[in-house]
Structure 1
Amino acid sequence: MYNIGICDDGENICTSIENMLLQYAQEKNVQVDTNIWYTGESLRDYLASGGYLDLLFLDIELFKMTGIEVGTYIRNQLDNMGLQIVYISGKASYAQQLFKTQPLDFLIKPILQEEINEVMGMALKIAKKRNERFEFQRGKDYYYIPMGDIVYLESKGRKVKVVTMKAAFEFYGKLKNVVKCLSEDFIVIHQSYIINKEYVFRYTYEMVELVDGTILTISLANRKIVRDELLREE
């Protein structure tokens, strides 16, 4: 079951988006469960109490707690980087403000069925990738981490450090062997670093900044490849 939330203070807009989502689900034979909220506060309370969503269509211009404030709450207070957020608005002037909350997309009202179809295709593709797991061994114990949770990997002598938003793990190994086990979302930026493209916040020709604030150097030999890969994502 794929859990989708819609938060907009316009009842007609919520109903329209829900109907388009259900049409997509029927055509693609995807099981979805939709929930609707009309205020940012009610959505925040649902998530704070442990409510789970895979995808959220979030209006920016909510009456009190704005969509941007809800998105910031999801990322910073709940530390939830997995929930895919699609902002919706009647204006096109918010793009820069949304960047820090790492949205999946930004749609301008009125929203069309074709746009919903495209968003759902992207969201389901990401969800499938995140279900892939990375396996490593520490002593006699085996660990399995969803690849979508990995922010970056670092070579530390004879060990590899795996960093997620919530924890870090080390095991004996080499990055050149680890990279063979990773999905196409990962890029080698340096002989000591592999990053997950989904967690890139900012980049220049010489460095990348990840959403957790980590800044990593891009080696001279990898700069063109990294730039081309990241530009392809834009």
Structure 2
Amino acid sequence: MGFRGGLGVVVVLAIVILVVVGFLQSRGSDSEGPGGSGAVSAEPPGEPAPDPLAGIAVVERRTKVPGYDRGDFGPAWADDTDAPLGHNGCDTRNDILERDLVDRVNFDIWRCPWAVRSGTLHDPYSGAVIAFQHGEDTSSAVQIDHIVSLALAWDMGANTWTPERRARFANDPANLIAVAGEANFAKASHTPASWMPPNEAFRCDYAHRFTSVLREYGLPIDRASAEALRGALRAC
């Protein structure tokens, strides 16, 4: 074979090698995927976030049940052995004032050794600071709110409860909070879908307390309120 013939063979072999190498590189590049790691790997999808309302039944809407009366939940602010705090000489209102107010001045009245004569409330609903003074014309500045209102509880199932269970619900400290009188009136028996505390910093705590009471007493909630509560809890 002449020089030119041998050179031609070498050139052909070089071209073949280049083609094969290019082909193999292109195959490898295809298998690397966007990450260029050389292997196809798929990360498993993340676990869905747990539902903060797990265990609470959600119904389409609140259905008004006729017949609600405050008296169906027992005497206001009962003090007896069936109340969660037991018989201590103080009604539930004074128990909650003692728990929630600061800078308290106490006095003994109506067999209650720690009735609150005066104190300061940092209202969780509005963020306002309320000076409390016991008296016929002044006590209403601070009121005790049912986080899950009695009227709402009635509509969502408490109408079928025994009187004893309703009385316990009405005096359960977990469902009670001292608030400014104006804030209490504004909330009334609204659901979370139509009312949340104006003080946004308290909405997480409010939603936690609200859902805890629902679970404790097996109460459902309407769909719109469920979404409002989920939003508040996920923003915590």
TM-score (norm 1): 0.25
Larger Rg: 2
Higher RCO structure, 1 or 2 (CA under 8 Å, sep 6+): 2
Per residue, is there more helix in 1 or in 2? 2
Per residue, is there more strand in 1 or in 2? 1
